[in-house]
Amino acid sequence: MTTLAHTFHIPVMGTGHSIDTPIRVAPFGIDSVISIVDDLLVERIRKYYAGEYDLPFESIARNAEDGRARRITAYLNTVDEIVRLKFEALCNEPFFSENDKAKYFEMLPDTSTLKNGWEQLKAMAPSLDREALEQRLSSMMQPGAIDVNIMTKLDRLLNGSGGQPMSAEFSDANAAFRGFAMSNVRGSVVLSAGFNPRLFAYMGEFRDFYRDAAGELTKKIILKVSDFRSALIQGKFLAKKGLEISEFRIESGLNCGGHAFASEGQLLPFILREFHEKKDQLTQTFQPLIDSFYESMGWEYPESARGVEPLVTVQGGIGNSGENERMLREYDMDRTGWGTPFLLVPEATPIDAPTLELLKNAGEDDLYLSGASPLGIPFNNVRDSGSHQWIEKRARNGKPGSQCPKGFLQFNTEFTEEPICTASSQYQVIKLAEIDRSGMDGAARKKRRSEVLEKACLCSHLGNGSLIALGIINEDRGPQAICPGPNLAWFTRTYTLREMVDHIYGRVPSLVPAERPHMFAKEMAMYVDYIAQQITITDPDDPKGMKRIRRLYNNLVESMDYCAEIAKGKAYGDENLTSLAEAVRTERVRLDAIFTSEPTHA
């Protein structure tokens, strides 16, 4: 089985901010994830990189048959080819020189067998034995994975040229999956945003997601989950189709970048403890279902694959080496995900200069959960982005909303038979007029108008930063949106790739100050804010809604009690456990105050 070079990965970040990250970091053995939601963006990035590396390029028209899948396949093949070229060149570099090959080995975790071999090599005098070790180490090097992300809920079913709905295989999610499945990439598809039966059923049509005779998987499935229950439910559905989950990727519900999918009040450490205690149940539950499927197909499940357990990893708000170490040691996580800090690493992510400057200077008050997403899901945002400025200017000029050039988020049918996007001009003009005709008082009307106008054209704006950074479009031609997590506030400059990797592994003085609150403390405060907001929008006379509020409260209190236990323990490295103990005290008081000030909800 493949041994991971690093104990961290770089998760997906928006549609554009990790669009070419594998090209940048995979030659150094680092895994990363590309969003393939926007096939029109990947086509433009493909054209750019084909020119940079003198690779053949033939445009795939927007209205081409199966164009979405073909564009994604073509881009992933381009990325795969460039990573191969760069990795081969790196491997062929000599040892004992200040080059990328040395950088590859220097960045490996100190526990790495490969790095230990390299340290041994450096201590050897020139000899045949040293030459043999050089060859062996070079042969053991491996590039990082080129993984892709599909947000499963983004699954429009479009009409064909005759106006009739196309077959299910051409839905957005299925076409994106097919694009990855047909590519040359030997990586994983990361499925996020929940359960999609249509997509999950379609995945079984591709043989690369099943074991070969040697027990290997050509392509793998990673499931991003919020809790153990969702891991079991989705894993069982796929296992019945013989599909294995190679990795369960746990993410903090709120303390993350991008869209935020809040849990029912359980904080991340509480969820991690359950995974740690029940990890064995995953294989025990899924393997009999997988065996049954293979038998029904007349296939033989390879004995060499038996006993291979899925990886369990975690991401969302990790900010220093001590917190990273806790994830790996205390909860036995196989790896951690570091996203937001890499937005400040130009070697890893393509961010335009104005947005990069905005991120460097962003404080805690500048990073917030917004209502900018047309999906109606809380969206991590930064104040005064290019996108925000563009939205405000359009509204001031009496031209609210976007022309909706891509339409990936067209789901609203409030005013139309065909779905439209709530960030579109078409929707906002109608909705604002309705609000103005309503009997709301001035304050309520102003609030509702603000909520409508807040929606951003994420389809385009999240990709514009990468296009600007690569010089494909000018800065004034593309409003830039970006979706960092709140962790960004403590990273205040740009960093080299080597600096950030050494920070993760605790090999250098921490890049963040000692007073930075513990990741669990930050998440706790965010959930108290969240439950306060949920109370304000829940009708006290709605029994189902009030039952959920009570469940949120009880789960949050239970999680706080567990965090109090953690705070009494020994810190890992530079963890700020003092801040966690303080957060338990202050946030519990704040939580109880929210309920006592709302007697109808208590």
Per-residue pLDDT tens over the stretch 126-136: 999 999 999 99
Average pLDDT over residues 84-103: 97
Do 452 and 523 reside in the same domain of the chain?
Answer: no
Average pLDDT over residues 21-45: 98
What is residue 259's three-state secondary structure? strand
Distance CA 16, CA 386 (A): 15
Distance CA 154, CA 171 (A): 9
Classify residue 29 as exposed, middle or buried by CB count within 10 Å of its CB (0-12, 13-18, 19+). buried
Q: Which residues contact 484 (CB under 8 A, 6 or more apart)?
A: 257, 340, 343, 359, 362, 367, 380, 382
SS (H, E, C) 493-527: CCCCHHHHHHHHCCCCCCCCCCCCCCHHHHHHHHH
Is 469 within the bounds of a domain?
A: yes
Is 342 within the bounds of a domain?
A: no
Do 373 and 477 reside in the same domain of the chain?
Answer: yes
pLDDT (0 to 100) of residue 194: 84
- Amino acid 248 reads F
Choice among 465-469, 496-500, 580-584, 592-596 with the minimum mean pLDDT = 592-596
Average pLDDT over residues 18-36: 98
Do 464 and 523 reside in the same domain of the chain?
Answer: no
What is residue 382's three-state secondary structure? strand
What average pLDDT is seen over the chain? Answer: 95
Do 522 and 587 reside in the same domain of the chain?
Answer: yes
Do 477 and 380 reside in the same domain of the chain?
Answer: yes
Per-residue pLDDT at 346 exceeds 70: yes
Q: Which residue has the tokens 């995953």?
A: 282
DSSP designation for 431: H
Residue 429 domain boundaries = 367-481
Do 448 and 524 reside in the same domain of the chain?
Answer: no
Q: pLDDT tens digits, residue range 230-289?
A: 999 999 999 999 999 999 999 999 999 999 999 999 999 999 999 999 999 999 999 999
Do 427 and 381 reside in the same domain of the chain?
Answer: yes
**Which of 512, 516, 514, 520 has the alpha carbon at shortest distance from 587?**
520
Is 581 within the bounds of a domain?
A: yes
Do 445 and 527 reside in the same domain of the chain?
Answer: no
pLDDT (0 to 100) of residue 379: 95
Do 465 and 381 reside in the same domain of the chain?
Answer: yes
pLDDT (0 to 100) of residue 598: 55
Average pLDDT over residues 393-407: 95
| Cα 547 from chain centroid (whole Å) | 31
Distance CA 17, CA 129 (A): 44
Is 132 within the bounds of a domain?
A: no
Per-residue pLDDT at 601 exceeds 50: no
- Structural domain ending residue among the three candidates 481, 507, 527: 481
Q: pLDDT tens digits, residue range 169-187?
A: 999 999 999 999 999 999 9
Residue 1 pLDDT grade (very low, low, confident, very high; cuts 50, 70, 90): very low
Is 349 within the bounds of a domain?
A: no
pLDDT (0 to 100) of residue 599: 44
Q: pLDDT tens digits, residue range 135-171?
A: 999 999 999 999 999 999 899 988 777 777 888 899 9
Number of H helices, E strands in the chain: 20, 10
Is 302 within the bounds of a domain?
A: no
Distance CA 373, CA 94 (A): 49
Average pLDDT over residues 394-423: 95
Distance CA 175, CA 72 (A): 9
Do 451 and 540 reside in the same domain of the chain?
Answer: no
Is 457 within the bounds of a domain?
A: yes
Per-residue pLDDT at 2 exceeds 70: no
pLDDT (0 to 100) of residue 3: 73
What is residue 212's three-state secondary structure? coil
Is 324 within the bounds of a domain?
A: no
pLDDT (0 to 100) of residue 166: 85
Do 546 and 595 reside in the same domain of the chain?
Answer: yes
Domain count, the chain: 2
Q: pLDDT tens digits, residue range 520-530?
A: 999 999 999 99
Classify residue 143 as exposed, middle or buried by CB count within 10 Å of its CB (0-12, 13-18, 19+). buried
| CA angle 442–444–445, rounded 5-degree value | 65
Per-residue pLDDT at 600 exceeds 60: no
pLDDT (0 to 100) of residue 542: 93
Do 473 and 549 reside in the same domain of the chain?
Answer: no
Distance CA 225, CA 24 (A): 27
